[in-house]
Amino acid sequence: MREPVVAGSFYPADPDALRDLVDRLLGGSNGRLEVRPWAIVVPHAGYRYSGPVAASAYGALRPWADRIRTVLLAGPAHFVPLRGCAATAARAWHTPLGEVPIDDALRDALAGAGCSVDEGPHEPEHSLEVQLPFLQRLVGDRLRVVPVAVGRSSDGSVAGLLAHASVDLVVVSTDLSHYLDIHAARAADRRTADAIVRRDAEAVGPDDACGAYALRGALTAARMTERSIVELDLRTSGDTVGDPDRVVGYGAFALVDRP
């Protein structure tokens, strides 16, 4: 069992407080989609900073929540150097809202496709953990996940894992620009968001998104499978908590089948 490492800091450790906060964020979401997404891109900061932006994507999933069971989570390893991809070795991940089982069949399939199984990158990491309460409130007890930390990788290798995984949803976790003033951040994030919508993986670098390798893989997979990308939200921590001098950028996007 992997226990949460940022409960009480990035989000409430009290189950009732966490449940109420996630429900309020989802209830305030204006995210709308005409078709069910294959994947979403969401931020991973503390909920007071990026929660409203993440909720724009998770809220857009509500019409299809009853069709979601197995979810592949892909995001960066901020604290442990990593080459390639590493799936969790735990049997389940725990949050204040309860236990989320790992889908063993999916993990085995990913391992067979070249993904290592290693808990080390996940032990101190928040980028995937903070996604679980949103999924728990949307999907409920049927939720099964495989968290995958994505380190330095080729776009094609990550795209192959994502595009061929037999899942109901892929969640790509990344923040955008870091520690610019709000005007510079908005300009930088606008360029990155435009590149995301164009599926231009080569235009997204590590300074543009901390989860660049997972994101670039998702953009490459979208191009390979002829999926479109829809922008749902684009804000900064200066927009959500009001400090304009040193902000982090957040975006929410959906990867959908073309009409």
Reported as a single tens digit per residue, the pLDDT across 10-47 is: 999 999 999 999 999 999 998 889 999 999 999 999 99
Instruction: Report if residue 6 sits inside a domain.
Output: no
In a domain, 230, yes or no: yes
Strand partners, 71: 145, 169
| CATH assignment at residue 156 | 3.40.830.10
Residue 131 lies in a domain: yes
For residue 236, the Cα-to-chain-centroid distance in whole angstroms is 16
Q: What is the pLDDT of residue 259?
A: 60
Examine residue 187 and state whether it is found in any structural domain, yes or no: yes
Predicted local confidence at residue 30, as pLDDT: 86
Run of H or E including 13: none
With a cut of 80, say whether residue 258 has pLDDT above it: no
| Section 199-213 average pLDDT | 98
CA dist 15 to 18, 94, 97, 142, Å? 5, 12, 6, 19
pLDDT, average across residues 77-103 = 98
Length of the chain in residues, anyone?
259
- Residue 44 identity (one-letter amino acid): H
* pLDDT score for 163: 87
State the Cα–Cα distance between residues 219 and 229, nearest whole angstrom: 8
Provide the residue type at 249 as one letter: G
| Mean pLDDT confidence for 119-132 | 98
Other CB atoms within 10 A of residue 3 CB: 11
Q: Which amino acid is at 69?
A: R
Q: What is the pLDDT averaged over residues 188-211?
A: 98
- How many domains does the chain divide into? 1
9 assigned to some structural domain: no
List residues bridging with 178 in a β-sheet.
248
Per-residue confidence band for 146, with pLDDT thresholds at 50, 70 and 90: very high
For 27-80, give the DSSP string.
Answer: HT-----SS-EEEEEE--S-HHHHHHHHHHHHHHTGGGGGG--EEEEEE--SSS
- The reply to whether 241 falls in a domain is yes
The reported pLDDT for the residue numbered 157 is 97
pLDDT 10s digits, 65-89: 999 999 999 999 999 999 999 999 9
Q: Is residue 90 part of a domain?
A: yes
CA-nearest of 155, 149, 84, 89 to 121 is: 149
Residue 2 lies inside a defined structural domain of this protein: no
Dist CA 53 CA 49 (whole Å): 9
- 158 DSSP assignment: H
Q: Which domain does 246 fall in, by range?
A: 15-257
Return the pLDDT at 31. 83
Average confidence score pLDDT of the chain: 97
